[in-house]
Amino acid sequence: MGMQCERIAIVGCGPGSPDYLTPAAEKAVEQADVLVGAKRLLALFSNSSAVRIEVNSGIEETLQRMEETEKEKRIAVLVTGDPGIFSLGRRVIKRFGRENCRVIPGISSVHAAFAAIGVDWADAWIISAHKEDPDSVPPIAHWDKIAILGGRETSLQWIAAHLPADSVEERRVFVCENLTLDDERIIEIRASDLGGLKAASRTVVLIMKKSLIP
Ligand SMILES: C[S@@+](CC[C@H](N)C(=O)[O-])C[C@H]1O[C@@H](n2cnc3c(N)ncnc32)[C@H](O)[C@@H]1O
């Protein structure tokens, strides 16, 4: 069942609904003395009596507080979705070492988005425009299936400005907001309308060649 001795568990908590939390995630949280995470992730575990370190924008400050935690305490770092997809997990592993961390996979918002429209995703390319615009313009046009993590007010404008030239004719665009939550909304829009759309802070945009959608 994997190694149990690591001090830090990096716990994938799914896209938001408690229905999408795994029993392994719940167990890791039960065993933790300290929970680290954003406010809405901490709220998923309101029954836990562990000490809480809320992650705001200051990641460095959070890592420092983890470092100052007594060495015998077990820490669970809560991340949205899966730790392997644009999460705090990478910074935690870099700082504390892989040998001290156990990664508990979760259901990603990307999994949930493709599931919502019933399309497989093994050949998808995943881009994050979540925190800031990506540094360089990725060669989006090379990929037939793209998932972009939005989240900021201007994320959709960035995506709209970098759509492949063939988008209007050749591709379908789905905007997936608040996946798994009560206010989940999945809409298909014309590529040319994407830039003007106001989307929720939890949004994944899927852009796909029409021929790939059954
Ligand atoms: C910091 S990234 C973390 C991604 C996460 N590790 C994952 O696997 O889903 C945060 C972004 O995930 C996406 N996201 C997270 N939860 C979501 C949800 N319930 N519905 C839609 N998008 C979501 C949004 O694009 C948000 O800006």
| Tens-place pLDDT, residues 132-152 | 666 555 666 778 899 989 877
CA separation for the pair 97, 99 (Å, rounded): 5
With a 6 Å cutoff on the Cβ, whether 86 touches ligand 1 is yes
Mean model confidence pLDDT for the chain: 90
Specify the pLDDT at position 139: 63
pLDDT at 128 (0 to 100) = 84
- Ligand 1 contact, 77 CB (< 6 A): no
**CA nearest 145: which of 119, 169, 179?**
119
What lies within 8 Å, CB to CB, of 174 at 6+ separation is: 113, 117, 186, 187, 188, 189, 205, 206, 208
**Both tokens assigned to 207:** 């852009």
Task: Spell out the residues 6+ positions from residue 51 whose beta carbon is closer than 8 angstroms to its own.
Answer: 33, 34, 35, 73
Mean per-residue pLDDT, 56-78: 93
- List the structure tokens of 144: 């037939």
Right CATH number for 8-107 from 3.10.28.10, 3.40.1010.10, 3.30.565.10, 3.90.180.10?
Answer: 3.40.1010.10
Q: Which CATH superfamily is domain 110-212 in?
A: Tetrapyrrole methylase, C-terminal domain (3.30.950.10)
Look at residues 173, 167, 164 and name the one whose alpha carbon lies nearest to residue 142: 164
3-state secondary structure of 185: strand
pLDDT for 89 equals 96
Least confident residue range of 19-23, 64-68, 138-142, 182-186: 138-142
User: Which residue has its alpha carbon closest to ligand 1 atom 7?
Assistant: 81
Which has more pLDDT, 10 or 141?
A: 10
How does pLDDT run across 99-139, given as a tens digit for each residue? 999 999 999 999 999 999 999 999 999 988 776 666 555 66
> What is the pLDDT, as a whole number, of residue 169?
86
Kindly state the tokens that stand for 93. Answer: 């592993």
In the chain, where are the structural domains located? 8-107, 110-212
Total-model pTM: 0.92
Task: Give the model's pLDDT for residue 191.
Answer: 86
Q: Is the CB of 203 under 6 A from ligand 1?
A: yes
